[in-house]
Amino acid sequence: MQQTNTIVETETQIPLGWRERLSPSKINKIPGRYNLPRMFRKSGHSTKQMREPAGSTRSVAALQTSFKITDTFELLRTRRWSVFDVQHVVLAGLCIFSIWIIEPSAPIIKTAAALGYLLLLLMPITRQFFLPSWPIWTYLLYFFSSRFIPYDVRPDIFVKVLPALEDILYGTNFSSTFAKWTNPVLDVFAWFPYGLGHFGLPAICSAIMFIFAAPGTVPMFAKSFGWMSTLGVSIQLFFPCTPPWYERLHGLEPAKYGMQGSPAGLARIDALFGVDMYTTSFTTAPVPFGAFPSLHAADAILEALFISYCFPKLKGLCIFYVCWICWATMYLNHHYAVDLLGGGIIAYSFFFVVRKFWLPRPQPGKTYRWQYEYVEVGEKGKNKALDEELGYGHVGAGKRSIDYANEFTVLDSFMHSGSSSGSSSPTTSIRSDRSNRRTD
């Protein structure tokens, strides 16, 4: 009888620890960031989407290959619209305005061009590139069509404002100082960033970030670049100011619309190579009195911020390039130092907002975009529900992922729980949980 009691007592004591571990309250404690039903309830996805098999999860680095316009219409039909979609209305309005004021009218050509771009936005294989870059194309169209805005509706041109600000802020005119001593070597040295890098570097940076940065970085760079440049042109149109070359040629005499622009120091490059690369284009520039803000400085600073964020080891090179092009703008007599300050403030403002909310974070040990299994956006430790601007795909099979190829899919399926900083991979957590179980 005593032996029987001992056996019963032993059987009662052995499972006690396991009963506590296997209790429903312990089993159901799934971290909030990996609790799929909770994530889908927050993001508005249906139960049918949540039950998709693991094989249906799309790679974060995958690209669209479909030409079916019906796929885009289906995405538009099921899209959860938000206030961020106003951006597309603004872009469409700017495009219509720019096309409308261009002369000659040529309605057939304009309509064909608009329908052609609309087709690029509707086909998934082209939409993934032309939707995020739409602000850039809008900026270019807006800039080149601004020459057709009637003079009688434009504001007066400010001739004395920038020189006065230059004296107040710095006590001297840096542009005049740098432009006093010129020689062919310095001309070529200034020409590289101002006349070449400004036009080619955005495409080079985009290609580098597309291959080596986290998926989704290039769409955010394109949107930032386009909207920043569009804002810059708008400021130049509503606050027209004369550049340093005007002060050198005309002093502080009042400026009038219709006056020709000037290549300033770039004319020496044309004379040096015997080719008209800049004289004609700058003489007939659409915005000859667009000194403030300097888009040369703004573009370079935005590129440097994105590159240094994605590749911290290149920060020194980025700082050097920004200083290089800023010096070149003043040496070539195209901008005051205050113009560079204005461009820098605008560029950093755009980057600050994008980095805080939408820019994908680089992950240690990931060299190429195809090595990313998941992508996290915004600053670490921020609990936020993302907007529907970029195109995040749904979550499947316990892993958070982004479908950057679908620009019209919902973005807010990326939810961060209150107990998580959002910096760990679901796969890693599952493995660590299994390891803990083994040690038990």
Token pair listed for 33 = 């960031």
**pLDDT at position 432 over 80:** no
**β-sheet bridge partners, residue 396:** 399
**pLDDT at position 354 over 50:** yes
What are the Cα distances from residue 440, in Å, to 18, 21, 24, 209, 432? 10, 10, 18, 44, 13
DSSP state of 413: T
Identity of residue 251: G
Max intra-chain CA distance, the chain: 117
What are the Cα distances from residue 354, in Å, to 14, 74, 236, 361? 56, 28, 24, 11
**pLDDT at position 26 over 60:** no
**pLDDT at position 405 over 60:** no
What are the Cα distances from residue 193, in Å, to 196, 198, 346? 6, 6, 20
pLDDT in tens, 153-212: 999 999 999 999 999 988 888 888 888 889 999 999 999 999 999 999 999 999 999 999
pLDDT in tens, 332-342: 999 999 999 99
Higher pLDDT, 424 or 260: 260
Torsion over CA: 60, 62, 64, 66 (sign): negative
Token pair listed for 185 = 């070597």
Contact between 58 and 397 (Cβ < 8 Å): no
DSSP state of 148: G
Helix axis angle, 134-145 relative to 86-101, nearest 10°?
Answer: 30
**pLDDT at position 103 over 50:** yes
Other CB atoms closer than 10 Å to residue 279's CB: what's the count? 16
Band (pLDDT 50/70/90 cuts) for residue 17 is: low
Half-sphere exposure of residue 78, counting CA atoms within 13 Å on the CB side? Answer: 17
Contact between 398 and 430 (Cβ < 8 Å): yes
Contact between 301 and 348 (Cβ < 8 Å): yes
pLDDT reported for residue 15: 53
pLDDT in tens, 287-314: 999 999 999 999 999 999 999 999 999 9
For 265, residues 6+ apart whose C-beta sits below 8 A from its C-beta are 179, 182, 187, 190, 331, 332, 333, 334
pLDDT reported for residue 42: 42
Q: What percent of the chain has pLDDT over 90?
A: 62
Contact between 425 and 42 (Cβ < 8 Å): no
Other CB atoms closer than 10 Å to residue 268's CB: what's the count? 20
**pLDDT at position 428 over 70:** no
Please list, residue by residue across 323-338, b when 16 or more beta carbons sit within 10 angstroms of its beta carbon and e when fewer do: ebbbbbbbbbbbbbbb
Rounded to an integer, what is the distance from CA 129 to the centroid of its chain?
13
pLDDT in tens, 370-397: 999 888 988 875 434 343 444 443 333 3
Between CA 72 and CA 66 the distance in angstroms is 10
Average pLDDT, the chain: 79
**pLDDT at position 413 over 70:** no
Q: What percent of the chain has pLDDT over 70?
A: 73
Tell me the Ramachandran region of residue 241: left when phi exceeds 0, alpha when psi lies from -120 to 50, beta otherwise: beta
Q: Which of 204, 51, 75 is nearest to 128 (CA)?
A: 75
pLDDT in tens, 61-96: 788 888 999 999 999 999 888 888 999 999 999 999
Token pair listed for 341 = 């300050």
Please list, residue by residue across 53-85, b when 16 or more beta carbons sit within 10 angstroms of its beta carbon and e when fewer do: eeeebbbbbbebeeeeeebbeebeeeeeeeeee
pLDDT reported for residue 155: 94
**pLDDT at position 429 over 60:** no
What are the Cα distances from residue 194, in Å, to 118, 233, 265? 33, 18, 11
For the CA atoms of the chain, what is the radius of gyration?
Answer: 28
Instruction: Give the residue-averaged pLDDT of 216-226.
Output: 96
Number of H-type helices and E-type strands within the chain: 22, 0
Torsion over CA: 140, 144, 150, 156 (sign): positive
Question: What is the length of the chain?
Answer: 440
Q: Which of 268, 265, 323 is nearest to 296 (CA)?
A: 323
Tell me the Ramachandran region of residue 347: left when phi exceeds 0, alpha when psi lies from -120 to 50, beta otherwise: alpha
pLDDT reported for residue 21: 54
Token pair listed for 222 = 């394109």
pLDDT reported for residue 210: 95
Q: Tokens 């107990």 appear where?
A: 419
**pLDDT at position 57 over 50:** no
pLDDT reported for residue 24: 52
Identity of residue 412: D
